[in-house]
Structure 1
Amino acid sequence: MKDLLASHLEDCSTDRYFCFSIRCEVCGEYWYSSSIPFAKAAQAVQYREKQELYDAIYQREKQRARATAGQEARERFSQCPVCRRLVCDACFLICEEMDLCRECAGRMQEPGEPVAP
Structure 2
Amino acid sequence: MTSAKLFVPIIAALCLAACNSAQPVAVAQAPAVATRSATPAGFDLPAGSGCANAIGRYRAIMDNDLAMGHVNQGVYATIQGEIDSAAAACSAGRDAQAVALVRASKARHGYPG
Q: Please indicate, yes or no, whether the TM-score normalized by the shorter chain is above 0.5.
A: no
What's the TM-score, normalizing by structure 1? 0.29
Which structure is higher in strand share? 1
Q: By percentage of residues, which structure has more helix?
A: 2
